[in-house]
């Protein structure tokens, strides 16, 4: 190997070999006293992991999720969270969990929570939500059947 001269680049790879950079997956990081997404973007699988940890016992408002995944509580951030809730629902359904939506009068999602076995109110809210999602073509037949299985398994316990 020869010494590089001025203006000549030092090549550390063999000729024909390419360097591949691997990105690390985004995570939730703590800044001060709050959690935020490391890249400032909304990722459904990351939101599903966050909900698995934080939404078992309490309802999480869309504003809280906007603060975590969009950095601030803005109208656009809440809109982004609401738009992606169906994708988060699918991720959680693949984990065998059912995401219950609390909606306001016009059908807009206000808060979310994982289905609780003991709560009759949540189980009653799950079926109409599922039928509404099927009616709006937000679920495939396979996802609908899997969600029914998850609800029925939860009801039997």
**Quick check: is 2 in a domain?**
no
- pTM of the prediction? 0.78
pLDDT at 8 over 60: no
**Total of domains in the chain:** 1
pLDDT band at 151 (very low <50, low <70, confident <90, very high): confident
Q: Is residue 43 part of a domain?
A: yes
13, part of any domain:
no
Residue 20 lies in a domain: no
Separation CA 51–CA 89 (nearest Å)? 10
Please determine, for residue 116, whether its predicted confidence score (pLDDT) is greater than 70: yes
Residue 4 has pLDDT above 60, yes or no: no
Most confident of 6-20, 40-54, 142-156: 40-54
**pLDDT-based confidence at residue 122 (cuts at 50, 70, 90):** confident
* Buried/exposed 52-84: b ≥16 CB within 10 Å, e otherwise: eebbeeeebbbebbbbbbbeeeeeebbebbbeb
Indicate if the pLDDT at residue 76 is higher than 90. Answer: yes
In a domain, 127, yes or no: yes
Is 8 inside any structural domain?
Answer: no
User: Sorting pLDDT into bands at 50, 70 and 90, what band is 52?
Assistant: very high
At a CB cut-off of 8 Å and minimum separation 6, what does 125 contact?
100, 101, 102
Angle at 52 between CA 153 and CA 124, to 5 degrees: 40
The whole-angstrom separation of Cα 133 and Cα 145 is 12
> Which residue range is the domain that position 79 belongs to?
28-156
Length of the chain: 157
Q: C-alpha distances in angstroms, 78 versus 51, 64, 83, 104?
A: 16, 9, 9, 14
Question: What integer is the mean pLDDT of 12-33?
Answer: 74
Question: Any alpha helices (H) in the chain, and if so which ranges?
Answer: 44-54, 62-70, 75-94, 120-135, 141-156
69 within some domain: yes
């Amino acid at each position: 190997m020869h010494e590089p001269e001025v203006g000549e680049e030092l090549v550390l790879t063999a000729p024909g070999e390419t360097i591949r950079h691997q990105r690390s997956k985004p995570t939730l990081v703590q800044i001060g006293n709050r959690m935020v997404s490391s890249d400032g973007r909304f990722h459904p699988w990351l939101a599903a992991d966050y909900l698995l940890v934080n939404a078992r016992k309490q309802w999480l408002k869309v504003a809280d999720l906007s603060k975590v995944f969009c950095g601030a509580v803005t109208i656009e951030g809440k809109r982004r969270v609401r738009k992606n809730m169906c994708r988060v629902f699918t991720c959680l359904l693949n984990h065998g969990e059912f995401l219950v939506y609390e909606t306001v009068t016009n059908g807009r999602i206000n808060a979310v929570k994982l289905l609780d076995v003991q709560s009759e109110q949540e189980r009653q809210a799950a079926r109409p939500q599922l039928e509404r999602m099927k009616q709006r073509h937000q679920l495939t037949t396979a996802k609908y059947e899997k969600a029914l299985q998850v609800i029925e398994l939860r009801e039997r316990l």
